[in-house]
Each structure stands twice: as C-alpha cells, then as structure tokens.
Amino acid sequence: MSKLRFFAAGTAAALLLTGACGTPPHSVGTSPPIATPPPIATQADTIVLPAPSTTPRYAVTIEDPDEIALLTQQLKLRKVMAARSTLYFGADEAQLRRLRELGYEVRRVDPEVVDSRVLRVRRAGSEESLRERGIVVVSREPTYWIVSGTLAELRRLVAAGYHLEPLAPGEPRPRRIRLVVGSTDDVQRVANLDVDIFSVADTAGRYTILGAALDMHIDRLRQAGFTVVLLPTP
C-alpha cells in the first residue's frame, strides 16, 4: 500500500484564523500584511459591535497574491484585507493617486460590508434564517452556531433578536474526517474544497483521505457528492 501526501489551502487556519481576528481569509499564496482589528468588546458575555466606521476604505481587483503583498508593502497601505481577488485598504490621497498612476481602478467601499467577525450566535430559529441575512454558518454546536458575517449583516441579526457571543479559546474547531475517493483528481477536488489533508493512502486505486474540516466545508464536500465520515475527537 503506497501513501501520497496532498496539501490543501489550510482552511482552519486560513479562515479561522483570520476570521476570528475579524477579517475574511485572503487568497492562497503569499500573505499580505493583514491589519489586526481592535478586540471585540463584550458586555456580560454579549458582543458589543463597534460603531460604524467613518474612515474611508477602498478596493482594487488583484488576482495575484504576490502582487497584493508587493503593492501593500511598497505603498504602505493601511487596514489591509484581501479576499476573493479583491484588496481592501485604507489610503491617503497620495497613495490613491499612485495606485491610479499604476493603472489600478480604485473604488470606494463601505467598511460595514467589508469588515467582518467570526463569533457565536445562540441557536434560535433555523440556519436558513441566518443564510437569508447573508450569514455563513461556520460550525454547529449543540446550543449555538459559530458564524461569519460582515458588521452590517451582524447588526441585522441583532436587530432581529439574535444573541451574539464571543468565541471560546480554540474555536472554531475543525472536525476529523475520512473520505474514500476513486482518483487522484478527486483527491485534489477535496483539497480544493478547503480540507486540511493529513494523509492519503492508495489501496488498489481507492484513495482514503484523512483530514480535518469545518462544518461549512463538510457541507460543501457533501454538496459536491462526496461521502464524509466524521471521526471521533481524540
């Protein structure tokens, strides 16, 4: 029995733990400097969302992570966040002018729909009601969900009566999983769906994958037609 090694984009680390710090994951590749947002304020174990920001934020479309890192360093951009081929940042007029001189199309964006948080929401109603408000369910626990949402989306949750709570240390926790697939192409598809793959064992053309993934990624695996077995937590 031969063994192969595959490496994914590092889902638990990437989202969580940029998301736990308050920003969405950046694109795979060289990481640009990421601004650390202020700690989430709490009051009696309830999240207190920050007041809406009055500081302008901007965005440019960039596909190459190395280009994002280089541009960020050379122009000394502030409050940098990269997600889905878009670089979000704060800048002064000189920096904006230089970006335009370099050929970038700079657009102004609302910080409320850019800045995000990963936190707990006490279970109430259905997951569908969360998704209808743009919220992503990252992980499911018996009495609460761990979710990701922009500040605007989270404010709408609070207005609808949901109770927001801070994450516990080590949350969200990926689940250990096993999949059996029929080709190396399928192994790569699994990796592309943000599974942290620990090992792949080849037995007569069947590949047993051991790894870890968050519930949001397990959902995507199943939607893609894979059978996922949850393993006991060690």
Give the pLDDT confidence of 110-159 residue by residue, as tens digits.
999 999 899 999 999 899 999 999 999 999 999 999 999 999 999 999 99
* Identity of the amino acid at 219: D
Residue with tokens 């870890």: 212
Check for a shared fold between 2-14+173-230 and 115-171. Answer: yes
Under CATH, what is the fold of the domain 2-14+173-230?
Alpha-Beta Plaits (3.30.70)
Residue 39: the pLDDT is 55
Give the pLDDT confidence of 92-116 residue by residue, as tens digits.
999 999 999 999 999 999 999 999 8
The domains of the chain are located at: 2-14+173-230, 57-113, 115-171
Domain spanning 57-113, CATH class: alpha beta
Higher-confidence residue: 23 or 178?
A: 178
* Sign of the four-CA dihedral 225, 138, 5, 63: positive
3-state secondary structure 208-224: EEEEEECHHHHHHHHHC
Under CATH, what is the fold of the domain 115-171?
Alpha-Beta Plaits (3.30.70)
Residue 2 confidence (pLDDT) above 80: no
